[in-house]
Amino acid sequence: MANSNYEYVKSFEVEDRLMPSTWIVVRIDGCHFHRFSEDHEFDKPNDERALNLMNSCAMAMLEEFPDIVFAYGVSDEYSFILKKTSQLYERRASKILSLTVSFFSSVYGFMWKEFFPNKKLKYPPYFDGRVVCYPSAKILQDYLAWRQVDCHINNQYNTCFWALVKSGKSKMEAHNLLKGTQTQEKNELLFQQFSINYNTLPAMFRKGSCVFKDKQTSVQEVSLVLDPLTTGKGRRYCEVQRGW
């Protein structure tokens, strides 16, 4: 009874249920990972250990939250797709977002040693997140294509940039050389100057990673729009079926 005078404060809480019958996408992104990757001496432009750590966190997410049917990751970000019918925490946005981001961040720190056995974690890594609902498979496909185009553009630029820097150019020179160049010119530069065939670089670097469970029907629905490239242990690298 003593509490009843104060219960009115609950009326200030806002309703934040996500739209029903839509794909829920949670995108998690490392906070200040530019600095974090420098401080922990990640390989440039891609650190396989760091990417595999992100992939393992994503796998742990699929185990912890069974409504996640598909996940796509690149660099310091990962997108998680929850099935349309999900009733996870009654679809309350703040619950879903806070719990998934918190879980992912914890697992990242928890598994760090497994991927960087000789590197001390200097400070706690943390992630931000956002949640968006998509009403159709087409829009969901476009969402994933958007993230994958970003992966391609950044990776191709970074591959050229670091090849130039490692060959003795200053960062400013490398930046100026690449300014305004198109995809084909970057591929030529890599091939002519560094004998690198961009298309043969690891798919995980060029296209990102994805994680999904095989046996759920809802997963198959999503995988229709995706083309898994290679199969690993419960993990696949994929290509969104859409050119850029």
Q: Which residues bind Mg ion (CB under 5 A)?
A: 29-30, 33, 76
Nearer to Mg ion, 30 or 208 (CB): 30
76 forms part of the interface with ligand GTP (CB under 6 A): yes
Closest CB 77 distance from Mg ion, rounded Å? 7
**Using the rule CB under 6 A, is 33 a contact of ligand GTP?**
yes
Cβ at position 153, least distance to ligand GTP in Å: 12
Token pair recorded at residue 196: 């690198």
Task: Check binding of 37 to ligand GTP (CB under 6 A).
Answer: yes
| Nearest in space to 187 (alpha carbons), one of 196, 175, 178 | 196
Regarding 221 and contact with ligand GTP (CB under 6 A), the answer is no
Using CB under 6 A, pick the residue from 18, 26, 50, 225 that binds ligand GTP.
50
- Toward ligand GTP, which CB reaches closer, 22 or 46? 46
C-beta closer to ligand GTP: residue 50 or 57: 50
Q: Residue 129: which of Mg ion, ligand GTP, none does it interact with, CB under 5 to 8 A by kind?
A: none
150 belongs to the binding site for ligand GTP (CB under 6 A): no
Q: How many residues bind ligand GTP (CB under 6 A)?
A: 16
CA trace torsion 238, 242, 243, 244 (10° rounding) = -90
* Interatomic CA distance for residues 152 and 231, integer angstroms: 21
Six-digit token string for 186: 């970057």
DSSP 187-236: HHHHHHHH---GGGS-HHHHH-EEE--SS-HHHHHHHTTEEEEEE-SS-E
Please choose which of ligand GTP, Mg ion, none residue 198 contacts, taking the beta carbon within 5 to 8 angstroms, the exact cut-off set by kind.
none
Residue with Cβ nearer ligand GTP (30 or 208): 30
Residue 239 CB neighbours (<10 A): 16
Question: Does residue 161 bind ligand GTP (CB under 6 A)?
Answer: no
- 2 φ/ψ angles, rounded to the nearest 5 degrees: -55, -30
Nearest Cα neighbor of 51 from 31, 32, 68, 37 is 37
DSSP 122-186: -S---EEEEEEEE-SHHHHHHHHHHHHHHHHHHHHHHHHHHHHHHTT--HHHHHHHHTT--HHHH
Which CB, 55 or 141, lies closer to ligand GTP? 55
Distance (Å, rounded) from C-alpha 195 to C-alpha 116? 30
| Residue number, 18 or 26, with CB nearest to ligand GTP | 26
Binding interface with ligand GTP (CB under 6 A):
29-34, 37, 42-44, 46-47, 50-51, 75-76
